């Protein structure tokens, strides 16, 4: 895996989540500083949790100002171009879905470099992609979206499984990465478009 390629998808994922976080904060009428913090937390929360748990310290964004710069740009852009974004709910949703795909693969590949088992790699990919949003929702006092709505983290898990299946083939590693990012992106879009959620296969009468 070319490191610079991993870096590019990380930059794109960071921007996607920064815009998504800023939009959520603006819907809750937070002041511009709150918008910036929420943008920040959404974009770096998952990666920070992953870095902390694997002991990759100081965590990434403290050592490399790229992420901070991207988030600042994304948050400021969202604040300034808000009136256009209102008509662009779809765009925002697409950014979030793209971030989901991008960060899942960033997480998986960082975990592979540390020789974790396949299960742990997929778990770390899912955490990287989902927990920024979880922290965002907790700070905004919502039950996290990932627990309530259409298939979200499951898309990460499926994408991660396919990545490890593709690794067994002769497919170019960068190509596999792109395929899995797109797969997660598409699963998420299809799930929301057709309102596909997991069935509550346990009895609903419980209390």
What residues line the site for a copy of itself (CB under 8 A)? 25-35, 37-38, 48, 52-55, 57-59, 62, 65, 68, 79-80, 82-83, 85-86, 114, 116-117, 119-120, 123-124, 134, 138-144, 146-148, 151, 153-154, 197-207
Q: Hey, what's the torsion of the CAs at 158, 161, 163, 164, to 10 degrees?
A: 180
Smallest distance from a copy of itself to CB 162, Å: 18
Smallest distance from a copy of itself to CB 38, Å: 7
Smallest distance from a copy of itself to CB 112, Å: 13
The DSSP code for 203 is -
Q: Quick one: 19 exposed, middle or buried, by C-beta within 10 A (0-12, 13-18, 19+)?
A: buried
Contact residues for 77 (Cβ-Cβ < 8 A; gap 6+): 19
If the CB atoms of residues 98 and 134 are measured against a copy of itself, the closer one turns out to be: 134
Neighbours of 7 (CB within 10 A): 13
Smallest distance from a copy of itself to CB 7, Å: 19
Contact residues for 162 (Cβ-Cβ < 8 A; gap 6+): 179, 180, 183
Smallest distance from a copy of itself to CB 178, Å: 26
Neighbours of 32 (CB within 10 A): 13
If the CB atoms of residues 176 and 183 are measured against a copy of itself, the closer one turns out to be: 183
Q: Quick check: 91 and 82 in contact, CB under 8 A?
A: no
If the CB atoms of residues 58 and 90 are measured against a copy of itself, the closer one turns out to be: 58
If the CB atoms of residues 170 and 206 are measured against a copy of itself, the closer one turns out to be: 206
If the CB atoms of residues 116 and 164 are measured against a copy of itself, the closer one turns out to be: 116
Determine the Cα–Cα distance for residues 90 and 87; give it in Å rounded to an integer.
8
If the CB atoms of residues 29 and 170 are measured against a copy of itself, the closer one turns out to be: 29
Smallest distance from a copy of itself to CB 175, Å: 28
């Amino acid at each position: 895996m070319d490191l610079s390629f991993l870096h590019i998808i990380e930059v794109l994922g960071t921007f996607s989540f920064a815009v998504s976080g800023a939009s959520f904060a603006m819907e809750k009428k937070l002041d511009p500083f709150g918008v910036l913090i929420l943008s920040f937390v959404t974009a770096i929360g998952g990666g920070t949790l992953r870095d902390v748990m694997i002991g990759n310290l100081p965590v990434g964004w403290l050592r490399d100002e790229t992420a901070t710069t991207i988030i600042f740009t994304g948050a400021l852009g969202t604040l300034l171009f808000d009136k256009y974004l209102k008509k662009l709910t779809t765009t925002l949703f697409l950014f979030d879905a793209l971030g989901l795909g991008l960060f899942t693969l960033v997480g998986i590949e960082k975990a592979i470099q540390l020789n974790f088992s396949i299960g742990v790699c997929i778990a770390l990919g899912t955490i990287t992609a989902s927990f920024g949003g979880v922290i965002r929702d907790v700070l905004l006092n919502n039950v996290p979206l990932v627990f309530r709505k259409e298939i979200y983290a499951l898309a990460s898990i499926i994408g991660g499984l396919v990545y490890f299946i593709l690794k067994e083939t002769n497919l170019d590693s960068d190509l596999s990465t792109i395929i899995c990012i797109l797969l997660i992106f598409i699963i998420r879009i299809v799930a929301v478009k057709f309102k596909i959620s997991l069935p509550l296969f346990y009895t609903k009468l419980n209390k």
